[in-house]
């Protein structure tokens, strides 16, 4: 099984944000346990933010991201 | 996305036959002139209908529960039936270029899979105006076409002064592929037509993934998996 990225429906949002922000999309396997996804998200944020502040834009099922 | 589909349906007829659902799917409500949430999916589908891209083939075949004609999956099945090697020769560069819109969208999907916005910008630069007209709208705070053009420009000359943002999708917001040993892949998605016409009982629990009784105070770690029933 391969996670092949966010659906193109998210591109307008990311493109709009990309004008002013440094954007990192995060795709996850929505069938798997949220603890596993949360651990991977935390790792991604640490590598992306490099200790600095980082905003998260999430909706719907992505509320699990608070677990990260 | 699935929610958009729900908004376009007349739920007073939720038990309608599959043909009626197909007619609703193709109705002007899903066309580019539609305002609101369904516009994005509709405009992308409409653009694909004009161009005959794999996007259209996917949706129509998904609704009908069959393999898309001309797809690599169909070629593999044909070779399997003829007793030939199941490996399908790669398309030539000329053949790939002939299907330009599909190729550009595939490149964009691959860029999204990589998660690097710089690569996404490069992929966006590979889209022409016709491709950009098929952009899903209604997801951004402003005209997505403007955002697309802005994002497609190289970052030099623009500043990312706002800070860092991680974008996380909602349920079923990422594309999942089942990768087969021969390199072919199938997208994991819901067959909306079958699902809406009470097709759920035709699914089986996969071996080893049957639901377990809940344990007090414990959350199940293994997700349920379903597969089509044989026959």
Structure confidence by residue, pLDDT tens digits, A9-67: 788 788 788 888 889 999 988 888 888 888 899 999 999 999 899 999 988 887 777 66
Judged by a CB distance cut-off of 8 A, whether residue B44 touches chain A is: yes
Query: Residue A43: its pLDDT value, please?
Result: 92
| Two structure tokens written together for B108 | 């964009």
Structural domain count of chain A: 1
Residue B97, classified by CB atoms within 10 Å of its CB into exposed (0-12), middle (13-18) or buried (19+), is exposed
| Domain-embedded: residue A43 | yes
- Region B197-202: mean pLDDT is 67
Across B40-49, B54-63, B72-81, B159-168, least confident range: B40-49
Which tokens go with B82? 């003829």
A46 assigned to some structural domain? yes
Domain range for A57: 8-67
Looking at residue B29, the DSSP 8-state letter turns out to be: G
* Residue A2 domain-assigned (yes or no): no
A3 in a structural domain: no
> Which candidate in A11, A35, A43 is best for mutational testing of the B interface (most B CBs within 10 A)?
A11
**Whether the Cβ atoms of residue A41 and residue B115 lie closer than 8 Å to each other:** no
pLDDT score for A56: 92
The partner residue sitting opposite B164, judged by closest CB among A5, A28, A52, is A52
Query: How many CB atoms are closer than 10 A to CB B101?
Result: 20
- The ipTM (two decimal places) reads 0.93
What pTM was estimated for this model as a whole? 0.50
- pLDDT of B190 higher than 70: no
Gap between the Cα atoms of B32 and B49, Å rounded: 12
Asked if the structure places residue A19 within a domain, the reply is: yes
Does the beta-carbon distance from A1 to B164 stay under 8 Å?
no
Phi, psi (rounded to 5 degrees) for B143:
-55, 115
Do residues B154 and B121 lie in contact, with contact meaning Cβ atoms separated by under 8 Å? Answer: yes
pLDDT at B7 over 50: no
* Sign for the pseudo-dihedral over CA of B196, A31, A17, B132: negative
A63 in any annotated domain? yes
Residues A16, B142: C-beta atoms closer than 8 Å: yes
Q: Checking DSSP bridges between strand B185-188 and strand B174-179, what pairing results, if any?
A: antiparallel
Cβ separation A7–B169 shorter than 8 A: yes
Residue A34 lies in a domain: yes
Residue A1 lies in a domain: no
On whether the CB atoms of residues B173 and A13 are closer than 8 A, the answer is: no
């Amino acid at each position: 099984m391969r996670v092949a990225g966010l659906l193109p429906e998210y591109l307008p949002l990311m493109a709009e944000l990309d004008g002013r922000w440094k954007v990192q999309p995060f795709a996850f396997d929505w069938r798997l346990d949220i603890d596993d996804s949360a651990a991977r998200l935390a790792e991604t944020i640490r590598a992306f933010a490099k200790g600095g502040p980082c905003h998260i834009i999430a909706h719907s099922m992505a509320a699990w991201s608070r677990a990260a | 996305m699935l929610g958009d589909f729900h908004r376009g349906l007349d739920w007073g007829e939720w038990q309608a036959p599959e043909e009626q659902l197909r007619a609703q799917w193709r109705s002007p409500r899903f066309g580019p002139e539609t305002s609101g949430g369904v516009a994005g999916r509709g405009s992308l589908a409409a653009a694909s209908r004009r161009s005959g891209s794999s996007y259209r083939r996917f949706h129509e075949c998904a609704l009908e529960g069959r393999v898309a004609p001309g797809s690599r999956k169909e070629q593999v099945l044909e070779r399997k039936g003829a007793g030939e090697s199941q490996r399908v020769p790669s398309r030539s560069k000329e053949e790939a270029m002939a299907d330009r819109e599909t190729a550009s969208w595939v490149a964009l999907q691959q860029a999204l899979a990589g998660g690097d916005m710089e690569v996404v910008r490069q992929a966006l630069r590979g889209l022409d105006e016709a491709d950009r007209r098929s952009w899903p709208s209604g997801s951004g705070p402003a005209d997505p076409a403007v955002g697309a053009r802005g994002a497609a420009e190289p970052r030099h000359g623009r500043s990312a002064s706002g800070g860092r943002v991680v974008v996380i999708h909602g349920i079923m917001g990422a594309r999942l592929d089942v990768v087969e040993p021969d390199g072919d892949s199938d997208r994991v998605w819901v067959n909306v037509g079958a699902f809406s016409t009470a097709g759920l009982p035709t699914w089986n629990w996969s071996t080893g993934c049957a639901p377990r009784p809940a344990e007090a105070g414990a959350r199940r770690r293994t997700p349920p998996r379903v597969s089509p029933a044989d026959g």
